[in-house]
């Protein structure tokens, strides 16, 4: 039992209120240096769940994932969109350097199909990123998804209502997102593995050094209305 506890503490799975615990868990940079600095120089954890908590879609949450979509799709990894609130706009994604051949959108009809699809996407060796918009999730469902994320060693981001910020979650990273000034997204770190929560930063959605194009009018705004050309629908 002591060896198990030591392992959990070493991997920052057990939170110790009196100190920070440096974690060696793998992660993918967010593409926003200011946010990465608040996340201990890491980024989106791999092999673990992340949650973005927001009041309504369309405040820049997709733009927050754009650098990761670019990077992983160029590596030949699949980017899954599961039950997005609106259809992804393929020309905007292509314009921003996302490889559309690696983008797959899946819509499910009921919670059971959603969980089955999400779990299998997470376990697939071809997956680089899974973005999903669930409805209400039971704690056992989130734990089940966490196990699938660990098995697949990819990035999973759940977009959930901000009311869930007060509820416990096994997710390794939880970000509360609110709109700021023009082309700005405010990020509050509700939880991050191995350290204190409460760090805040504001990110400009129109200026990022990692984009090939620096033209603000070409920024992906999202979400895009149904009826727009989808990136992919398999």
| pLDDT tens-digit readout, 123-169 | 999 999 999 999 888 888 988 999 999 999 999 999 999 999 888 88
At residue 232, the 3 state secondary structure works out as coil
Which CATH class name applies to 27-207?
alpha beta
Cα 9 to Cα 34: distance, rounded to the nearest angstrom: 27
pTM for the structure as a whole: 0.79
Q: Reply yes or no on whether the pLDDT at 103 is more than 50.
A: yes
In this structure, the number of other CB atoms found within 10 A of the CB of residue 200 comes to 10
Cα 156 to Cα 181: distance, rounded to the nearest angstrom: 28
Q: pLDDT at position 217, please?
A: 31
Q: pLDDT at position 233, please?
A: 42
Length of the chain as a residue count? 234
Q: CA-CA distances (angstroms) from residue 109 to 4, 34, 115, 116, 215?
A: 40, 38, 11, 12, 39
> 164-217: per-residue pLDDT in tens?
988 888 899 999 999 988 778 999 999 987 666 668 889 987 644 333 233 323
Give the mean pLDDT of the chain. Answer: 81
* Domain locations along the chain: 27-207
Mean pLDDT lowest for which of 14-28, 80-94, 127-141?
A: 14-28
């Amino acid at each position: 039992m002591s060896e198990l506890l030591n392992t959990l503490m070493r991997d920052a799975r057990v939170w110790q209120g009196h100190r920070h615990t440096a974690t060696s868990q793998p992660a993918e940079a967010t593409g926003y240096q200011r946010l990465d600095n608040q996340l201990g120089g890491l980024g989106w954890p791999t092999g673990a769940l992340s949650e973005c908590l927001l009041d309504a879609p369309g405040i820049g949450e997709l733009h927050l994932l754009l650098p990761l979509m670019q990077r992983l799709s160029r590596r030949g990894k699949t980017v899954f969109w599961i039950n997005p609130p609106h259809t992804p706009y393929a020309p905007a994604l292509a314009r921003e350097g996302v490889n559309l051949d690696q983008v797959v959108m899946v819509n499910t009809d009921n919670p059971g199909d959603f969980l089955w699809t999400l779990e299998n996407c997470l376990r697939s060796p071809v997956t680089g990123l899974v973005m999903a918009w669930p409805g209400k999730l039971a704690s056992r469902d989130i734990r089940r998804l966490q196990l699938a994320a660990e098995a697949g060693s990819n990035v999973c981001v759940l977009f959930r209502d901000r009311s869930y910020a007060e509820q416990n979650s096994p997710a390794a990273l939880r970000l509360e997102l609110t709109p700021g000034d023009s082309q700005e997204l405010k990020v509050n770190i509700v939880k991050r593995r191995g350290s204190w929560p409460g760090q805040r930063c504001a990110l400009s959605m129109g200026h990022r050094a990692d984009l090939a194009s620096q033209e603000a009018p070409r920024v992906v705004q999202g979400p895009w209305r149904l009826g727009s050309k989808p990136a992919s629908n398999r």
